[in-house]
Amino acid sequence: MGLLTVSGVVAGYSAADQILKGLDFRVDPGEIVCIVGPNGAGKSTLLKAVAGLLRPSAGSILLKDRPIAGLRPREVTKLGIAYVPQEHNVFPSMTVRENLEMGGYADPAAAARRLDGVMERFPVLGRKRRQAARTLSGGERQILAMGMALMVEPAVLLLDEPSAGLSPVAAQGLFAEIQAINRDGVAIALVEQNANDALEIAHRAYILVDGRNRSDGIARELAADPEIRRIFLGG
């Protein structure tokens, strides 16, 4: 059984504007699953539907065997799915520590216990815990956003373009952190523009085009497919 199973989901930003047109998607325990595809394909929309920010008009979303489509974001988080949006994912004027505390808002009693664990897991956050988030580098800010998400000890982490705007070196560092989080036992759904790098760290991948699956399979096999390379991976 999949850990997260999306079946036939139709969703969009209004009834007349369906972006996901019957989408199937699955994350199994222990996986990093990458979602790539052209601009506007619906990659971010898929993560928003899973996170509870959009209510699908058809189809189902299951966490293990529990239906979650249409639940509020806070309920989805409590059940074990943490979402890191592409932008505005930290509070710039608050300290690193305060941001982490905000990340644990769904369960404040447990948050105090988890704070030390997250700062140990990401030493840079421990060292800079008293600094305002706006003073962090782009890569550190993304690590903080992931640290906030891990404050709820999720089973599944949804990451929307975490490497956007980072230098190649910072992006490589971030991908290594994503792999380390996955090795700690967190399954990850990763939307990336940086498709070649994302396919290197992913176990499986989906290629979305116009709200539907164009292809899916083992990430390294998709990355080696000449037609997929030509159309989606820049040659």
Ligand X SMILES: Nc1ncnc2c1ncn2[C@@H]1O[C@H](COP(=O)(O)OP(=O)(O)OP(=O)(O)O)[C@@H](O)[C@H]1O
Which positions lie near ligand X, rule CB under 6 A?
13, 19, 37, 39-45, 193
For ligand X, which is the closer residue by CB, 42 or 147?
42
Residue environment code for 15-49, b if the CB has 16+ CB neighbours within 10 A, otherwise e: eeebbbeebebbbeeebbbbbbbeeebbbbbbbbb
For the bound state, the minimum distance from the C-beta of residue 88 to ligand X, rounded and expressed in Å, comes to: 13
Are the C-beta atoms of residues 178 and 201 closer than 8 Å to each other?
Answer: yes
With 0-12 / 13-18 / 19 or more C-beta atoms within 10 angstroms meaning exposed / middle / buried, residue 184 is exposed
For the bound state, the minimum distance from the C-beta of residue 52 to ligand X, rounded and expressed in Å, comes to: 15
d(CA 203, CA 218): 6
For the bound state, the minimum distance from the C-beta of residue 47 to ligand X, rounded and expressed in Å, comes to: 8
Residue type at 160 in one-letter notation:
D
Closest CA to 33 of 73, 65, 69, 4: 4
For ligand X, which is the closer residue by CB, 46 or 156?
46
Reduced to 3 states (helix: H, G, I; strand: E, B; else coil), residue 55 is coil
Closest CA to 161 of 174, 150, 148, 149: 174
For ligand X, which is the closer residue by CB, 153 or 197?
197
For ligand X, which is the closer residue by CB, 2 or 85?
85
For the bound state, the minimum distance from the C-beta of residue 39 to ligand X, rounded and expressed in Å, comes to: 3
For ligand X, which is the closer residue by CB, 37 or 139?
37
For the bound state, the minimum distance from the C-beta of residue 198 to ligand X, rounded and expressed in Å, comes to: 12
